[in-house]
Amino acid sequence: MCLHGFTATPYEVRPIGRACLKLGIDVVAPLFPGHGYSLFIEQRREFSKITKDIMFEAVRQEIIQARKHYDFVGIFGHSMGGAIALTMASEGLVDACTVTAPAIQLPLRAEILMGLLSWVNISIPKNTDNFYNPNYLFENSKAALVLQRIALHSRQYLAKITCPTLVVHSHNDPLVNSIVVKLIEEQVKGSFEAIWFDESGHVMTLDVKSKEVSEAIAQFLDNRC
């Protein structure tokens, strides 16, 4: 199961899915609630409606469906999807957990801005990627507060993770500090691995080392199926 990041779509995790399929691993990449709308008016309206519980429950339901067909269910998540993947692992719902740039701790500047602006519903234009990655071209204050709550929840329950865990990250990620790798390593109870791709930025799944990142994740999951 592959989970995309905040404001993005399943396209963001497509390379991971393809790498898994090459190894014979079936893949599902759900679209998160509030994401994937094409019209700007719909994007702003639906994105501001998301909640932490809605996001978590959407993934739980996907896992329930997967369990009807498979004995082994592994999960991958990027950024926000990584934080949610870790939460699912902490609930004992998956057999292996892999993440890239897991958003379990947000930049201090973002935390401060969310504290100041979360009481209003505003949307702010954001910088675009240097590669194709269809996503919302704005950040929403209410949705950003949800991201903060997801990050905090994920951090609080890391010690409950007992399944094998792989974290892939870059020291040059401008959004998610590399300290998150140490935070996860120090708390998870299952086996832990970390791989670094410092040529990449935040969206490691689509950046310059996309192929290598995807193959490393797929191989980790294949070794545990």
CB 204 within 8 A of CB 195: no
Alpha helices in the chain (DSSP H): 14-22, 40-47, 52-67, 80-90, 108-117, 141-156, 179-187, 210-222
DSSP 3-state assignment of 74? strand
Instruction: List pLDDT tens digits, range 111-120.
Output: 555 555 555 5
Q: What is the second-level CATH architecture of the domain 2-222?
A: 3-Layer(aba) Sandwich (3.40)
Residue 130 has pLDDT above 60, yes or no: yes
Measured from the Cβ of residue 110, the count of other Cβ atoms closer than 10 Å reads 16
Q: Mean of the pLDDT values across residues 22-47?
A: 94
Q: What gap in Å lies between CA 135 and CA 12, rounded to an integer?
A: 9
Q: What is the pTM of this model?
A: 0.91
Task: Say which amino acid occupies 80.
Answer: M
Distance CA 127, CA 174 (A): 12
pLDDT value for 122: 47
**How far is C-alpha 124 from the geometric centre of its chain's CA atoms?**
21
Average pLDDT for 138-156 = 88
The angle subtended at Cα 211 by Cα 205 and Cα 128, nearest 5°, is 35
Nearest Cα residue to 106 out of 154, 140, 58, 158: 154
Question: At residue 95, does pLDDT exceed 80?
Answer: yes
More confident position, 138 or 196: 196
Residue 129: pLDDT band with limits 50, 70, 90: low
Single out the residue of 41, 39, 40, 36 nearest to residue 6, CA to CA. Answer: 36
How many other C-beta atoms lie within 10 A of the C-beta of residue 124?
11
